[in-house]
Chain A
Amino acid sequence: MSKQWDIIIQPKRNVLDINLKQLYKYKDLLFLFVKRDVVTIYKQTILGPIWFFVQPVLTMVIYVFVFGKIANISTDGIPQPLFYLSGIVMWNYFAESFNQTADTFTKNANLFGKVFFPRLIVPLSKVLSALIKFVIQFLLFLALYLYFLFNTNVIHPSYLIVLLPILLLLMAGLGLGFGLIFSSLTTKYKDLKFLIQFGVQLLMYATPIIYPLSTIPGKYQFWIKLNPITHIIETFKSIFLGSGQFSTNGLLYACVFTLFILTLGVLIFNKTEQKFMDTV
């Protein structure tokens, strides 16, 4: 008689034991979760997906007013609406990816307590839903972008625009990686929940969203550049608008950082998912 077991459940899994094959088997669930997120948000609303536009547009208007007109922060010669909107749209993708994944365990405790499926499916689906939201908001940016491109001559796009998918991957990777780490830690130490709320807000001010990196005095530049998102945003602005600082080293740093955070996140998440039902 062959003792060929398909499933062996044991107390401790190897740290590196990530079942990718199993993850792939559940790919249909991934897309159904994405569908659920996108379809249900705006059910029984009149404007529907138009709400995706409202938030960035209003934020942009406020930024133009507060930071542009009142505080008079430079935008490196780029039209203020376009400058802010480019930052907002990119930042939103990171913030959405992070916020939506950071409470994976606590928010889905009910579901996770009843049925087994690879837990990683849930945060992955959130990042994909965020991508859909990003694409819609990016169309808004594109419309504004084309308007300024043809009506003014301050915008100088670069052929490096093809790097956009990599920038998105980095944003998604960072959001997901941090989200996985925080979602794992909050199962035991709920204090972190409060940190996340304003942490994202603070991090935004440490990223060149409302100001260009070039306005930062030399001695602070080092700290701002430690933030990997800085390089992603600056690259985005540089390839689309021709105003940011494009630095290959900075981008490489962001890549390595993202890979590290994402790996760490997946490992911690994988370890937590086995026992979190006992502590959540």
Chain B
Amino acid sequence: MKKNIAIKVENLSKQYRLGEIGTGSLSHDLNRFFAKIRGKEDPYSIIGQTNDRTATAESDYVWALKDINFEVEQGEVLGIIGRNGAGKSTLLKLISQITAPTTGAIKAKGRIASLLEVGTGMHPEMTARENIFLNGAILGMTKKEIKAKLDEIIDFAGCQLYIDTPLKRFSSGMRVRLGFAVAAFLEPEILIVDEVLAVGDAEFQKKAIGKMKDISAGGGRTVLFVSHNMASVINLCTTGIVLENGQITFNGSANDAVDCYLKNSTKTSNNRKWDLVNAPGNEKIKVTEISIKESDGKTNFTIDSKLTLSYKLYTQIENATLGTTIVIKNSKEDIIFSDGAIIASDRNSKKGFYFVQVNFPYKILNSDSYSIDLIVGENRRYALLNEENILNFEILFGGNIKHDKKLPGIIYQELNWSIKHSEEV
């Protein structure tokens, strides 16, 4: 079996210094230098701990990535998923040559173009046309290449009218469109994309995703895609890797990678507990526990899951009227719904714990990732507590439902249909 490998990553590691760089860096440099001239190993490369946010610092150095190995075939779309700080961005930075690895090597065939941000280097005082050339050149195109594609780029961005207007007069959405349009016509052999699709309006996102699919399918190009949006990973990628604490914990098909990631992430963010000192909130009110559970105890939520959200509040306030509200948002930060209830009415709140439990409607939330904001207010007027994204959960496509494929829509809804047939008018 002949495989055409586009990128090969071997034993890749990246070490970062913890704490403030600069303090003591001169002495570390000198230590390194003396070790080097005595022919010894770098005294700081031996130590260093794994990239685990929850651990406390034991040494000054941390491995943001440790011993990463994987291969990407030509034409493959690889999704890289992982929690915040798992090392995704570091990996992309290494592959796009923004910073050098500490050990290991990356080997690639063809030109690599990275899209860690759209419109990099654009200058607000210059016109859209000038900026297309500047941005294209920064991304590695020659003037000739840009000239040949100029009309297509302008067309894709949809800004014919403003082509000779300075960029500073553009809305931020228009700037993003322009930036993405340039990148879309870049035609590198390897394209690296970091969640840039999270911007722009729906129509443009669709266009951008379609374009990315074309890039990999039509041109045999390889795409590396990092996203928190599981739906677009499944939609776009053929394979996936999951990063956790700087190491690869899964490498396989995109669907399996997403499943694996969700299984691991739900353990921690579906159910959160704090002790009274560290609990989020303030002196007046704190959240000490919050969890979302399925009635059958399943950890994978699907569209038909009957979900119950429960949380525990600790309050010091007496003789107040307390109310609580939850806001459910999807991965695009659209608010799906919000609702609230009175915890203590008629100014009779008491010190201590309040246990809140609320059942979600089922077969409403479409498959997506969701986050919950928790708000507690006093006397219907003051917000005592507003914890954004206090809990995250994912709804997978599946369960006992009518459809076998994810349907578009912010919510999921099965309707009652009635159909009659007649041969006459």
Q: Which residues of A contact B (CB under 8 A)?
A: 1, 4-13, 25-26, 28-29, 32-33, 35-36, 39-40, 43-44, 111-117, 188-190, 274-279
Contact = CB atoms under 8 A, between A and B. Distances in A.
Given A11-B102, A115-B138, A5 B93 contact: no
Interface stretch (B116-124, B210-218, B333-341): B116-124
Contact of A8 (B16, B105, B139, B143): B105
Given A4-B109, A9-B100, A111 B138 contact: yes
B110 interface: yes
A32 B108 contact: no
Interface string B119-159: 01101011000100110011111110000000000000000
Nearest to B95: A9
Contact of A275 (B100, B108, B120, B166): B100
Given A32-B137, A36-B126, A113 B98 contact: yes
Instruction: Rank and list the top 4 A-B pairs by shortest CB-CB distance, nearest first.
Output: A274-B100, A29-B137, A116-B97, A9-B106
Given A7-B108, A116-B96, A190 B114 contact: no
Given A115-B121, A115-B139, A190-B22, A10 B101 contact: yes
Nearest to A115: B120
Nearest to A42: B125
Interface in B263-285: none
B93 A29 contact: no
A1 B120 contact: no
B105 A10 contact: yes
B107 interface: yes
Given A1-B2, A114-B98, A8 B138 contact: no
B37 interface: no
B368 to A, nearest CB: 29
Interface of B: 2-4, 8, 16-17, 21-22, 25-26, 93-112, 114, 116-117, 120-121, 123, 125-126, 130, 133-134, 137-143, 166
A117 B126 contact: no
Nearest to B3: A1
Contacts of B16: 278
A32 B130 CA distance: 9
A10 B22 CA distance: 25
A24 B125 CA distance: 27
Given A7-B107, A7-B108, A188-B22, A36 B100 contact: no
Contacts of B103: 11
Contacts of A26: 137, 140
B114 to A, nearest CB: 6
B107 A8 contact: yes
A250 to B, nearest CB: 36
Contacts of A5: 8, 107-109
A35 B134 CA distance: 9
Contacts of B8: 5
A18 B104 CA distance: 21
Given A115-B96, A275-B99, A36 B134 contact: yes
Nearest to A116: B97
Contacts of B109: 4-7
B116 A9 contact: no
A190 B20 CA distance: 13
A245 B8 CA distance: 61
